[in-house]
Chains A and B, each alone.
Chain A
Amino acid sequence: GAVVSQHPSRVICKSGTSVKIECRSLDFQATTMFWYRQFPKQSLMLMATSNEGSKATYEQGVEKDKFLINHASLTLSTLTVTSAHPEDSSFYICSAAHQETQYFGPGTRLLVL
């Protein structure tokens, strides 16, 4: 149990375009989901906390207008990287909270050309 999926697993896009990443909890409902970013050989950096039915809470230094988060249902949160630039290239990971534990998706590798 406690499986979280992410789609797509890998995406390449041109600079200036927007990319949407989906995060789904497959066998449980999650009122809270999280979005992380991981740079090579570094720890997971929390970007924002996504709460179902309300606005996301962004960490300091994360642009909310650039990283749009929507948590429209108890099993789905989306992260949209708007007007992507090469510096947005990274590994994005979501997690869903369930019984005191976060369960992570497999991650999405974004490459902006």
Chain B
Amino acid sequence: DQQVKQNSPSLSVQEGRISILNCDYTNSMFDYFLWYKKYPAEGPTFLISISSIKDKNEDGRFTVFLNKSAKHLSLHIVPSQPGDSAVYFCAAHFSGTYKYIFGTGTRLKVLA
């Protein structure tokens, strides 16, 4: 049972436009969510996180939105840059544990 899902395996966006990556989860007990970016043959790089007590967190070009009632979170990248092309994973975990449940990833391609 996939508790964290990223239903779009890939996404293409024009440079300068907004990229929106989506993630759905099934367990309402998750209380912390994160987004990671991964290039081929490298480890994931932490991007941004959000606690379940918030509905938005912003860091530069990256904003994460959390909709608890819909069990949905999204990552917005504005403006998108070619260097943002990578695979993006969302992850969720429970308070008091570092054990993450990862989504399957979305490959973002930003076109110049």
User: Which A residues lie at the B interface, using CB under 8 A?
Assistant: 2, 4, 6, 32, 34, 42-44, 46, 49, 91, 93-95, 97, 100-107, 109
Partner of B43 from A43, A97, A104 at Cβ < 8 Å: A104
Please state if B43 and A93 are interface contacts (CB–CB under 8 Å): yes
Please state if B34 and A104 are interface contacts (CB–CB under 8 Å): no
Question: What is the bound-complex CA distance between A94 and B44, given in angstroms?
Answer: 10
Please state if B102 and A103 are interface contacts (CB–CB under 8 Å): no
Check B25 for interface membership: any CB of A closer than 8 A: no
Check B62 for interface membership: any CB of A closer than 8 A: no
Question: What is the bound-complex CA distance between A107 and B46, given in angstroms?
Answer: 15
Please state if A43 and B46 are interface contacts (CB–CB under 8 Å): no
Please state if A43 and B104 are interface contacts (CB–CB under 8 Å): yes
Which of B32, B34, B99, B104 gathers the greatest number of chain A CB atoms within 10 Å? B99
A-B contact pairs, 21 of them (CB 8 A): A4-B43, A34-B98, A34-B100, A43-B104, A43-B105, A46-B100, A49-B98, A49-B99, A94-B43, A100-B32, A101-B34, A101-B46, A102-B34, A102-B46, A102-B100, A104-B43, A104-B44, A104-B46, A105-B43, A107-B42, A107-B43
Interface size on B, residues (CB 8 A): 18
8 tightest CB-CB pairs across the interface, nearest first?
A104-B43, A97-B98, A43-B104, A104-B44, A107-B43, A106-B43, A93-B43, A105-B43
Question: What is the bound-complex CA distance between A102 and B104, given in angstroms?
Answer: 17
Check B57 for interface membership: any CB of A closer than 8 A: no
Please state if B102 and A43 are interface contacts (CB–CB under 8 Å): yes
Check B65 for interface membership: any CB of A closer than 8 A: no
Known A6-B43, A93-B43, A106-B42; judge A43-B100 contact (CB<8 A). no
Residues of A within 8 A of B104 (CB): 42-43
What string of 1s and 0s marks CB contacts (under 8 Å) between B26-66 and chain A? 00000010101000011111100100000000000000000
Query: Min CB distance, B35 to chain A, in Å?
Result: 11
Query: Min CB distance, A58 to chain B, in Å?
Result: 12
Residues of A within 8 A of B102 (CB): 43-44
Question: What is the bound-complex CA distance between A102 and B38, given in angstroms?
Answer: 14
